[in-house]
Each structure stands twice: as C-alpha cells, then as structure tokens.
Structure 1
Amino acid sequence: MPLFLPAWLHSVVVIPGRWAVCGLLALSSPMALSAQSLPAVSGTVLAPAGLPLEFATVTLHRATDSVAVKTNFSDEKGAFRLEAAGGRRYLVSVSQVGFVRYWGPVFELTSAGVALPSITLATSQATALKEVTVTARKPLFERLTDRTVVNVADSPLSAGATTLDVLGRAPGVTLDAANNLGLRGRQGLLLLVDGKRVPLTGEELASYLRALPAEQLQSIELITNPSAQFDAQGGAGVIALNLKKDQRLGTNGSANLSYGRGEYGKFTTGLSLNHRRKKVNFYGTYTYVNRRDFARQEFDRQFAADGALPALSGIIAGKRLLDLESHSAKVGTDINLTKASLLGVSLTTLLSQTNTVNTSQTQFNDAWGAPSSRNSSRTLQDIWRPSGSANLNFRHTFADSSTAAALTADADIARYNTTRLLVLNTFYQYPAAASPLLTGDQLSELQIGAVKVDFSRPLPHRARLETGAKATSVTSRNDVVFLNNGAYNPSISSHFNYFEKVSAAYANLQGTASKTTFQVGLRAEMANIRTEQGGELPRERNYLQLFPSASVQRVLNAQHSLALAAGRRIDRPNYGQLNPLRSYFDATSYRAGNPDLVAQTSYNVELTHTYKQKFSTALSYAQTDKPIVTVVQPAPDGGRLVVNRDVNLTTQDYYALTLTAPLEPAKWWTLYANGVFYYSRFRGNLAGTALDRRQPACLLTASNTFSLPHGWLGELNGTFQSGEIWGFEHVQPRGQLLVGVQRSFWAKQATLRLNVADVLYTAPIRSTSTYDSFTESFRLRQDTQVATAAFTYRFGSSKVAAARKRAAGAEEELRRANGQ
C-alpha cells in the first residue's frame, strides 16, 4: 500500500540512535548541539540495607517555588542523572513505593555539574511488609489536562453491565434511539479499544459493545480535543476503552460471576490468567455472556397526502425480545528482548449470536379518523457476529532513560463478519388479503489492516518532538438475497462492496517554558474510498486534507490556570452508513445506508479555566460543515414504508459550557459533578423541508462514592439529559439513577458487588421527527431496571512488578512533573 507523506514532511528523516535529523526543526543546529553541554546533577539512590534501588522517581525542583523541572528514574545501579540550566538553585526529591519520600537540601548547579552524596530512602511504616502489595483504590474519575479518565474496574455499578451500559453513564456521554454515541451533545466519535479503531457505527457498534462485558474494562478515556497523534476521524472527540491487564508477578488470575434480573435474566462469567516474570509476561482472558432483553416500541406516524396516496395516520405498537449469547477472549505475550526493547503479540476474538422476535400491531386511519387498514407482523432475526483481531507491537528506547528517544511500531489486522437471517410474516386483518412472507439472507465481511510507526525524542529547553506515519486499509463485502413467498426479489437483493485506504503522517511538538506548556501539531491524511453496488458504475471519493491542532496552558498562580485548545477534524462515512442494502426492523420500517453521503468536517476551539487544580470551567465552540445526522422519513418506494438512514445537512453550530467539580463533602463521601450546558443550531434542507432549528440543552452527571461501615463501599450515580434537538428530531428529557455497594473479604482476594440500575425507570426514550409532509413520534422502553449480584475472586501473588510497571507509566509521571 503506498504510504502518503505530504511535501512538508519529506524533509523529516528519523534515524534511530543518538540523533534524529529533522529538516523541519533543524535539530543539528548549534542550538540543538548546545543541549549536550548542559550541566547535570547526579547521584545514587539506596535502600536501607545499602542496596541500589532501581526505578526510584527522582525529580529536580526549582528552589524558589519547588516547581518540577525534570524527572527521571534511577537505573539498576541506583544511579540517576538530570540535566538542567546552570547557575541556578535547585533541590531534589526521591520517591518509591514502600519508602518515605526524600527531600534534599538546596544547592546551586554549577557549569561543572553537581554530584550529590548517596541518598538512602527510609522504609515507610505503612508499607513495611515482606512484599509490597497494592491495596489503594483509584478514584473513579480523574480529570487530566486533555482528557477525563473513568476507572470503571473498581466501580460497583460496572458489575454485570455491558460496555454499552457503562459508556452511557460516563460524564458527557449520550446514546440516542438509533444507538449513536454522543459526547457533550455532539456526535461523530473515534472509538478505540486498546488503542485500535473500531470502524462501526449505530446499531452495529451498539451490538458490538453489548457483547463486550464491562468486566473486561479497566478504564474509559474521554478526549474532546485530541492531538495530531490520533486519527483525524471523530469531530466530537475520542473515546478510548482500555481493557484489563494484570500487573502482578508470578502466576495469578481472577474469576468472576454475575447475575442480573430485570424483566429477564442476564448472566456473565469470566476467567483471567497471567504469568509474569522479569523478562516475559503471558496473559489470557475469557468471558461468557447470556442476556435476554426487551424493547417495547410505539410509533405514531402522520403522512400528508402525496399524489395518489391520501393523508393517513398510523399507530404501530410492538415488543421485541432479544437473546444475546457471546464469547470473548484475549491472549497475548510481552517479551523484554533487551532492557530497552519490548515486543508484544496479542489475539482477540468476540463471537456473538443474537436472536430477536419482534411482534407488532399496525393500524392506519384516514383523514377523518376512520380505520383504513389493520395488520400484524412477526419478525424473526438470527444474527451471528464473529470478529477477531491480531496485533504485533514493538517499543525501543534509545537510551537508559524514560525521557530518551523512543520508537514504537504496531501492525494490526481485524475481521468483523455478520450473517443475518430474516423471516418476516405479515397478516392482514382489514382489508383481508394474503399474508406475504419475506425472507432474507445477508452476509457482511469487513477486514481491516493497519500499520503505524511513531518516533519521539526530547529537544532542548524541555521540549519534545513526536512524528509518525500510518497506513490503513478497509475492505467490506456485502451481499443480501430477499425472497417474497419463496420467489427471488431482484429490486431489493443486491451486493455492495466498500474499499477504503487512508495514509497519514503527523508531527507534534510539545514544550514547557516557565509556567506555560504548549503543544502544536499537524496531521495530513489521504483517503481514497471506492464503492461498488450491483450493476451501477463504481463511485470513488478522495480526501486529501490537513488537520492542524494546538493547545497552550498557562499557570497564572497557585490557584488558577488557563488552557486554550483548537483543532480541525473530520468524520468520513463508513461502509455501514454508505451501504444501501436493507435491514428490516418490521413490516413498516427498515434501515439502509446512503451512497450519496459525504464527509463532515469541523473546527473546534475550547478555553478552560482550572481552579485549585481540580475545578474546571470550559467554554467550547464548534462549527461543522455537512453534518451527518440520522433521520427517519418515508421510503422512496412508497407504500407507507419508513426508512432510517443518515443524511448530510448544511451546517451545525455548537456552543457549550462545561463545569466539572470533584468535591469531598465529608471524609467518607466523594462527589464528582459534571454539567454540560450547550446550544445547537442545525440548518439544511431535506424532503422538501427547510431546516433552521435551535435549542439550549443540558447534560448533568453526579457520581457519589461512600466509604461505609464494616468495609463496604457505596456508589450512587445520577444522570439527567434535558430535551434537545438533533436535526429534524426533538428528544424529550430522560435520566437514570443507579445505586451499588461492594465489599472485599478473604484478605481482599474476594469482592461482592450489588447494584440496581435505572432505579426509578426514567431511561425510556421519547422523540418526535417533524417534516412538512411527515411526522413520527417514537417511544422506546427497554429492560434497563435491573438488579445485579456479582462475585469476583483473585488468586495467586499480590506482588506487583513495581519497577517495570513504573517504567511503563513514566510518560504520565513526566507529564505531571512538567506541569502539564
């Protein structure tokens, strides 16, 4: 596959080793060479017995205000070296798990450097055990500079839930009736699972996330202004799902079992195993899910007179039973080839089967309210979704330091297949007519391949350069055969093929000066999309675009800081949104893609104020050109059928105020409050209807964590979504209240969790879509009020590979040390 490199990046040449030559920044200039002559402070860190202490965190601070200047880790001999500007006064701090933090005296760094006396750390009495065990619980929410992290692994409310459930409760995340994910009142997201893009949307994505149990999740990251390192896809931002990975030494694992009961039962069980040594780690997980859910749907449709068809009103009421069975597994290994090189291999599979039975009653009335027709239908669907992926990754650091130049490479291949069998019976009561039988056999094969390389290296003056390139190939082949009473129907049977190739390159510069941290980047992407349908001529679209991004953060004083971020992003329609082949819901409606759909692009800017490093206020604005929205409207082939599909409007303007407040009302009570107050305006034209609609809205989330007596931990979560507009659709207010408790016992090896979701049953969705000639009011009630009991047992060693884990997490520590 040809790898696209824009002209501005042709001068960037990356050479592994001591140097990286970059025409863009002229690293071989005298300024770059002068970095080698910076004086350094050096020393050795020892344990109380006099043995060298590896991977202790050594931080150099300014003496005037203790602001961190540079951070590094001690090596296997306990030695460390930190370079900084000479002629200034500094002090050093040293920390390590299980030891008291050390603060050294103030000294002046001369041009010849300073060698400190050996530093011996004192053992912390709180952790003076035979081996270090990790018992601390991460906070449920962490607000970082560029993202919000939700640590769901230890949440009582995640027990027995699906990943889709947990996502819908995250602060600022919404899920509409068409199963489109949104973030802070906007749609168009890049979804990553362990750093790998999931190229699904709508119902296909929802089905994938329903089959992925929340027990496999470690954390969720919500990123509203991603840097140039990320794919440009996702105008509203990035949602990154991080799966669990055991860090304990030796052979160990965990087993879990949960059962939930709403109107129907939901069962989940799983097992994870891990074998870690100093040089190698093997791991594997398996989860089985068996769930039954329902969806009660009501439609009130009003059709205006259209040519030969008179005005009609229709009421459709139905219930769908959904049985889901899934098997998910992941195996892999990480091998330390050398002290500086790591090789990883992993295989992931998700096999899910869904059987649905949808029964509905339909009645149409004429303009005077008299019944004109009445029928019932029964729709059976058997959907089989096997998927799998393989990843090969490599990381190499070019010096024995976490701040040295680093090279990472990833190669991925994934397959997502879908087989859908349909049996649709329609029975006419009035006027009497024969009962037609529609059967369908639909096959979809999706294959993705991706290769990427990233290189980063430190620059003078506390800066860092990151560059990289990526090539992705997506192939989707779709065939559907429909039979009417056993006879082939050529008008709705066809095939659809989709081919996408995206080549990208980026450069990103980060730096810190005094109290200011900045980041500026540019990403170039060349996308070629080709579609083939039936006997029609192929369609081809090419997108060659640049995506700049920048952010700057300024610490005003000890209590206040400001950050400004801006960027340009894109949402290219995927194969599911372009695929015109039909997927029937019932006798009155179906889903189909739109081959005329084009990409939407957006410009985003956000200003954030942070108070006391915890309370944040953000003002956001985004303008989206050709926004993609999901609509419901009369089908083009008439007959009072309704089609659900995606279309482009003209523009969307978005304004938002986001407030985040992590509070501690009492020592036993932690509250994380998040509010998004936004205003959207949509303009466009569809089905003869000129659209210019706007409305303010809000999304409120309050998550409470309680330390209860006798070792119990409680969690109370409430969400509220006000009424809002989305294109032609107006959605009514809705919300959800969840409560859960958990307790660990048997020396913290076992955990019991109990929770109740949607306690007040306020999650049902109600919406109305309005056009000049058609109106639909929709109500959806699902099996969301569920009580769940879950049990988890951890076995094996509780000793963590602290040194290796800290090395892997060095980037985060360095970022915090540099004030980012």
Structure 2
Amino acid sequence: MTFSLPKHVIILFFFLTGSAWAQKGPNVTGLVHDPTGSVVEFATVALHRASDSTVLKTEFSDAAGTYRFPSVPAGQYFVSASQVGFARSQTNAFTVSTSNESLPVIQLKSSSATQLKEVTVQARKPMFEREADRIVVNVDGSPLSAGATSLEILSRSPGITVDQNDNLALRGKQGVLVLIDGKRVPMTGSELADMLRSLPANSVEKIELITNPPAKYDAAGSAGIIAIKLKKDGRQGTNGSLTTSYGYGRYGKFTSGINLNHRHKKTNLFGSYNYNDRNVFTQLILHRDFYQNGQFAGSSDQENQGKTHYKTHTYRAGIDYSVSKRTMAGIVVNGMALDAKASIPNVTKTYDAENQLQSSYTSANNRGLRIPNLAGNVNIKHSFDSTGKRELSADFDLAHYETHRLQNLATTFIVPAISPTILAGDLSGALDITSFKADYVHALPNKGRLEGGIKFSQVHSDNNVLFTNIIDSQSVVDTGKSNHFRYDENINAAYINLNQTFNKLTVQLGFRGEQTTAKGQQVIGNAGFSRNYFQLFPSIFLKQPLSKNHDMSLSLSRRIDRPTYNQLNPFRAYIDATTYFTGNPALFPQLSYNVELTHTFKQKFITSVSYSRTDQPIIDVVQPAPDGNRQAVSTFQNLTRSDYYGLTLTVPAQPANWWTMDNNLVAYYQQFVGNLAGTSLNTGIPAYSINTANTFTLGNGWTADVTGNYRSRQLYGFLDIRPLGQLNIGLQKTMLNKKGTLKVNVTDIFYTSPLHATSEYDNYKESFNQRQDTRVATASFTYRFGNDTLAPTRRRTGGAEEEKRRAGGA
C-alpha cells in the first residue's frame, strides 16, 4: 500500500519545517531545604497559577532536594512546598517566558511558624486541567468517581462520547487509542467497554485526553489518545487504601478494592486488587422497514429488554528496584478475569407490504462471557550521567488473552405455529502478543532535545466458532455459521523526534516509520488475505508567544488505524433472532491527515480550530443481511473518505472563591463519502457538544461537584443520532484526620441520556430507542493507611500497547 499527501498539506508542512525544532515550553526547577539548610527529600511541591492560586501540577523533591516542572507554558506562577513536620512555604510570584527558570531555595519552617495568610490555596486538584497538548481529568479527587466505572468517567469527560455500540469518540471522531499505564488496552468497541466497565474509577488516578500525539507514540489513534493512569502510592514504608461502594439504579452495583505499596531503600513493591459485581439494565426497541426496487416490502417491530450481570476481578503487582543511582529496573504483572451472564428476551413481529401480520415469535437469548487475561512487562531505565541529559529505557512485554462466549438462542413461533428452534454457539478465541521497544533521549545544546526509538511486535490470533441447530431434540452443526479464523501480524517501527529553540519560536518535528506484515486465513473455505506495506508518519508542533497574554500553536500529523483483530474475524455472534454481528476480513486501514491551530489567552482560555481528512474510514454499520430473510447484520465497512472541521472552546471561570467552573464546547462538521448496500452517501451536518463541570468548596471538609453535558443531533456515516445529555451531582467529605473520604452521588438525575437514532439505506430503514442503567445513586468510603513520607515516583510504560488495543473487536 502506498500513500500521497495532499498538495496543500505538503506545502504547509515543509514551509513550517524550514523554521526550526523546539520543545513545548521551558522547565521550572528549584531546591527545598529545612531550617538548618539541609535538603528535604520527598517534599510535596506544587505549581500554582499566580492569578487565583489554583494548583496546576504537583511533583516531589528528590534525594538532593531538587524538584522540576517540565514544559511550563508562559505566564505568572508561584511554587509552594510542604512536608510532614513543617509548615507550607512558597516562593514569590515569577514569570515564565521562553527560557528555563531556576527559583530561589524554598526554606521550610517548623510547624509552629506563621501559615500562609495572604493567599488561599486550593487543596484539591481541579477536576480538569489544561496542558499544552492535552486535557487531564483528575478522577481521584471528584465525588462523582464514587462507585463509577472508568467508562462512566470517560463518558462525562470533555469531548468524549460513547455511541450505542460502545464505540469511543473524541471531539466527534472515532479511532481513539486507549492506554492504561502506558499500555494499550487489547480491545475496542463493546469488548473495550466491558473492560472499562470492569475497571473501577477508585483505582484510577487521572485520565489524559491527547488530541495530537507526537511521533513517540504508535501511529494509531487518528482521533487522539486516551491515557488512563492507575494509582500508585509514593509514600515510604507500607501504605495503602481500602475502598468500597454500593450503587442502585434499576439494579444494584457493588465495588470494592485494595491498593498496597511497600517502599524501602532501593526496592518498591506495589499491588492492587479490585472486585466488581454489577447488574446492568438494557432496553432496545427497534422498527425496520424493507424495500425492493424502490417499493415498500414489509416491516418488523421488536423489543429486547434484559439484565447483564458482570463479575470482575482485576489485579496488578510489581516491583521497582534501583540497581544503581542511574539504573532502575522493574517487573509488572497485571490481569483481569471477567465473567458476565446475560438474559435478554426478545419479542418480534413482522408485517407484509399491506401491513398484515406475517409472523410473530419470541426469543430467549442467554449469553455467557469469560475473559481471562494476563500480561507481564520487564523494564529498565538507565541515565548515562547524573544530570539525566542522556537516558535509555527498554520494555519487553508478553500477553495472553482469551475470550469464551457461550450463546443459546431459543425461538418460539406463535405465527405461524411451527416447532421451536434452538441455536447454540460456542465462540472461543486466543490472542498472544510479544513486543519489545527501546527509547533513547539525548539533550542537545541551546535547550535542544533528541529522542529516538524502535519497536518490534508479533501477534497471533486464533478464533474458533461452532454453531449447532437443535430441532426436535436433534443437534446438527450449522456449517454456514461456523468458522475458524487465524491471524498473524508483525509490525516493526522506528521514530525520531527533534526539538530546538530559536528565539521565542518552539518547534517539535518527528518522523515515525512502520512496516506491517499481516496474514489472515479462514480455515473453513480456505479463504484468506496477505498484506505487506510500509508507512511514514510525520508530525510537527510549533508554539509562538505573541505577547504576555497570547500564545499560538500549530500541530500537523499523519496517523493510521488498523482494523482490530476481531473486526477482521468473519465469525458470527447473534444479538437476537433477526440481528447478528460479523467481522469483515476485507477491511483496510484508515489513514488520516490532521491539522490543529490553537490560541491561548491568559493561560486559561483556549480556542482550537482543527481539520482532518480520513481516507477509507472504518465505520460501524447495520444493514440488510446478504442472505435475506429480513435479517440485519452489524458489521464494519470502509467508506471512501471523511472530512472533519472542528472548533473547540475552553472557558474556565471562578464566580466566587468557593466556586470554580470549567466549560468546554466542541462544534464540528463531519462529512462522509462512500457507497454501501447500494446506497450512495455524501452528507454531514453541523453538530456540537457542551460539557460543564462545577466544583464547590463548602467548608468543614465538604466539597461538591455538579457536571452536565449536552450533545446535539449528529450524523455518523448512515446513522442519525438525536440530541441527548445528562446532569450529575456529587458530595464529598474528608474525615478521620483526612485518612477517610465519604462520597455520595447521583448520575443522570433526569434520565435524559437514552439514545434515539435512525439509519437509512435505499432498501432499508431502521429506527431504534436504547436505554441503559444510567440513573444511579451511589455511596462509597475510602480509608488510607500508612505514613505520610513521600517518595518520587517513576513512570512505567510497556511496549505492546498498539497490539493490545486491537485485540478486541466491535
């Protein structure tokens, strides 16, 4: 496969690259000392915005008493430091422009010294933080995280939407890359959603939404990256936390978990375990119209309503060890065991062209799902000098994922009165991933920076599907539905990132190359495909301060979204008697070109204008089944192209000292062009989404959050989605000497998030209403134990992120 950039992108790209290379912002550094002048290790150091004292970032001083805040945007700030046994101290206000800022030593005082009086410092991090290239969602501090899942937290985040098939979109675009602790989640669509439903929000520290990632990341994720960071205690000694919660909507939902950490000298041991027991209500009402040669041929009505019971065990354990002052090594093992059972009865009636009853039947769809997953990572990081100007890190990953689906679809016919049927399915799959990556960082003169790396990954997927029909107690293998599919893929990648500063202009330029070899084989029918292609993915980021209050930045990138392994898998999974899901081995990767221009005013008010062009976009469609019988198939298809024009506004406000507000507007126009099921598509409409988050400091340890979101009508391919939204409220109280936290919340108070949509082709029309268990009241309690001496944490990423994300299907 080859590619060519549009001419206007080529001209713009090389015009900009002629300027320079640079980093995204200067660093702020300093030292923390005690009253005797000795260094203070592990002090909590916070960077505050000078205008309103809001905490923007938090770091810890190292063994030399040094702290560092990287890539700080231009503006006015002050830094505060605290440690057990000392009173909080702070620097004077200072201005960051284009050069690194080295601050005077922060001298901590004894605990009886005078406290800060002239400034009221917010102790709790804001719900949303804005950085140069991302939005940070601080999950842990919000009362709305009580009893919630990671998927629910994501669905309430700025610019994030989740559609009726559980596909994630960022600012209206699908093709999102999801990372957990730097590792790609091995699933997409409904399987990714099940994984995120199984990951309690109480185990998550923060979520980062990155719209235009640099070349260091895998080239996947045309819409951007969702990076989830799990909690990891940084205190010395043995520490941990216990959390339990119970929520009730239509059914009950219980979550409990424990986090443990033991840090002593050169060794840090950590682990966590979470148990999730949730019952989820779903309702789907469908109406379908069928046409032949432009004439109405009949219709059908059906209702699915049932309950799914999820039981999930997630666990994580690891060790970090300081081999020397410059070398760190670690091992991490994590896994998940999900067990879900669903009972979804269905009632269906079909009508002929004269609207006369043609058939009537009921179906009982009993489904079971087991997903045992296990992954391991070995990592090492080495600094070649004491300044950290040259660093090498490496990761080796092994992962094994299994999926076991059992299905029993029993159909009883009322009209006409014929014998009942049972369709039994056994869908089993295994996925093995091996990956290695290495990254090197080298500081250059004049604040320059060189980054480079390599990555090798190997994936083997084996899926076996067996369907049997049971009629009059006789079991017969259904060869038309059974299948066996194998898939092998190898991706070799390398990247280079160059940064340099010239006057006030900063630029980052990156190139990433990926060689892909893939082979798929259907054992039944002996059909398959083989692909071998190389792709180059350039990216550029520029930032120019215009004045004290105004900054401009520009980013360009080219990205790819390969089909997930299950999207290629042609196995069938029946949703009800008239609808089934199947993969599409004929899918091609989608390629996108992305441009974004951003203006920042007073470091708070952000306006972004973006454009992206996607070739062969992969979309989720429901269309008439090729075998007729008024069945519909849910599958994936490539369209010809899509064009996206977006406007994003970020407007924070502080109406009062006790009230902070974060408002986010995403307005966009997305046009799709293609041809499916004999229907030409060339359409799009303006759409927008609004997200507001309010935090109230009520005193006596009480805080409250009120969030709301609204999505206008939107078109996505052939799907026309009506407006929806929700309002959520939460309360939080700290107690027991700040070791305990009580949280209560109610989500979707007015139950305004049910989905209403239509899908229309030349020979088929479908409208549906979908409801889920979104209005839930929850209470949770967290207790933290251990000492309060903090130690610096280190990053932990892995190498198999891209392959793990694509391990899942729809």
Aligned twin of 1:390: 376
- Conserved 8 A contact 2:43-2:790: no
* SS at structure 2 position matched to 1:375: strand
The separation in 2 between residues aligned to 1:230 and 1:318, in whole angstroms, is 41
Q: CA deviation at 1:136?
A: 3.3
Alignment match, 1:611: 601
Question: Which residue identity is paired with 1:588?
Answer: T
Counterpart code for 2:378 = L
Q: Distance in 1 between matches of 2:712 and 2:638?
A: 25
**Mapped pair 1:146 → 2:133:** yes
* C-alpha distance in structure 2 between counterparts of 1:661 and 1:231, whole Å: 31
Question: Residues 98-129 of structure 1, C-alpha deviation per residue, up to 9 Å, x if partnerless?
Answer: 564467999xxxxxxxxx99968352768899
Q: Output aligned runs, 1:41-60, within 5 Å.
A: 47-53=34-40
1:45 Cα deviation from its structure 2 partner: 7.5
1:444 is the counterpart of 2:434: no
Partner of 1:464: 449
- Could you tell me which residue of structure 1 aligns to residue 184 of structure 2? 197
One-letter amino acid matched to 1:589 = T
Aligned to 2:13: none
Report the more deviating stretch, 535-544 or 690-699.
535-544
Match of 2:339 among 353, 362, 373: 353
Give me the whole-angstrom Cα distance separating, in 1, the residues matched to 2:501 and 2:304.
60
Q: C-alpha offsets along residues 346-386 of structure 1, whole Å, 9 cap, x if unaligned?
A: 11011010100110111111111111111110010111111
User: Which residue identity is paired with 2:714?
Assistant: E
- State the distance in 2 between where 1:347 and 1:470 align: 20
State whether residues 45 and 118 of structure 1, in contact with CA within 8 Å, keep that contact through their aligned partners in structure 2: no
CA contact (8 A) 1:54 1:77 kept: yes
Q: Residue 485 of structure 2 aligns with which residue? A: 496
CA distance in 1, matches of 2:417, 2:602: 73
Matched residues in 1 for 2:103 and 2:369: separation? 68
In the alignment, which residue of structure 2 is the partner of 1:684? 674
Which is greater in Rg?
1
Return the match for 2:587 from 597, 604, 628.
Answer: 597
1:453 to 419, 438, 448: 438
Residue matched to 1:407: 392
- The residue aligned with 2:22 is none
User: Structure 2: how far apart are the matches of 1:483 and 1:706?
Assistant: 58
Instruction: State the alpha-carbon separation in 2 of the partners of residues 430 and 736 from structure 1.
Output: 41
1:311-322 aligned within 5 A: 311-322=297-308
User: Higher relative CO (CA 8 A, sep ≥ 6), structure 1 or 2?
Assistant: 2
* Contact 1:100–1:124, Cα closer than 8 Å, also in 2: no
Do 2:42 and 2:790's aligned partners in 1 also have CA atoms closer than 8 Å?
no
Residues 755-780 of structure 1 show CA distances to partners (whole Å, capped at 9, x for unaligned) of: 01110101111111100000010110
1:626 match: 616
The code of the aligned residue for 2:328 comes to L
How far apart, CA to CA, are the structure 1 residues paired with 2:477 and 2:565?
Answer: 25
Identity of aligned residues (%): 45
1:538: how far off? 2.9
Extract unaligned runs of 5+ from structure 1. Answer: 1-24, 26-41, 60-71, 82-92, 107-115, 810-820
Which residue in the other structure is 1:795 paired with? 785
Secondary structure of residue in 2 paired with 1:304: strand
- Aligned ranges 1:164-183 → 2 under 5 Å: 164-183=151-170
> Partner residue of 2:498?
509
Gaps of 5+ in 2: 1-16, 18-28, 47-58, 69-77, 96-101, 116-120, 797-810
Aligned to 1:305: 292
Q: Within 5 A, what are the aligned runs for 1:800-811? A: 800-801=790-791, 804-805=792-793
Rounded Cα–Cα distance in structure 1 between residues aligned with 2:477 and 2:384: 64
**Counterparts of 1:316 and 1:790 in 2: how far apart (Å)?**
38
- Equivalent position to 2:233, from 246, 252, 256: 246
Q: 1:368 is aligned with what amino acid?
A: E
Q: 1:724 aligns to what?
A: 714
Amino acid at match of 1:389: A
Find 1:277's aligned residue among 235, 256, 264: 264
The DSSP-based 3-state class of the residue aligned with 2:331 is strand
Q: How many Å apart are 1:512 and its aligned residue?
A: 2.7
**Given that residues 573 and 581 in structure 2 are in contact (C-alpha distance below 8 angstroms), is that contact kept between their aligned partners in structure 1?**
yes
- Preserved CA contact (<8 Å) 2:32 2:81: no
Contact 2:495 2:513 in 1 (8 A): yes
What is the CA–CA distance in structure 1 between the aligned matches of 2:701 and 2:422, rounded to whole Å?
60
211-220 or 295-304, larger mean C-alpha shift: 211-220
Paired position in structure 2 for 1:572: 562
Could you say which residue in structure 2 is the equivalent of 1:698? 688
CA apart distance, 1:474: 1.7
CA distance, structure 2, for counterparts of residue 758 and residue 80 of structure 1:
42
Equivalent of 1:366 in 347, 352, 366? 352
TM-score (norm 2): 0.86
Output the aligned Cα RMSD: 2.9
1:11 is matched with which residue?
none
Are positions 1:434 and 2:419 aligned together? yes
Taking the aligned partners of 1:120 and 1:367, their CA distance within structure 2 comes to: 82
Whether contact under 8 Å (2:711, 2:723) holds in the other structure is yes
1:702-781 correspondence to structure 2 within 5 Å: 702-781=692-771
State the distance in 2 between where 1:354 and 1:483 align. Answer: 22
Change (3 A) 1:401 1:727: same
CA distance in 1, matches of 2:287, 2:512: 47
366 and 537 in structure 1: CA distance in 2 versus 1, 3 angstrom threshold: closer
Asked if structure 1 preserves the Cα contact closer than 8 Å seen for 2:317 and 2:334, the reply is: yes
Alignment of 1:483 onto 2:468: yes
**In structure 2, which of residues 237, 250, 269 is the aligned counterpart of residue 263 of structure 1?**
250
Cα shift at 1:728 = 0.7
2:518 to 519, 524, 529: 529
In structure 1, distance between residues paired with 2:161 and 2:695: 22
TM, length-normalised to structure 1: 0.85
- 2:248 counterpart letter in structure 1: R
Say whether residues 1:137 and 2:124 are aligned partners: yes
Give the Cα–Cα distance (whole angstroms) in 2 for the partners of residues 798 and 127 of structure 1: 20
Q: Report the more deviating stretch, 524-533 or 407-416.
A: 407-416
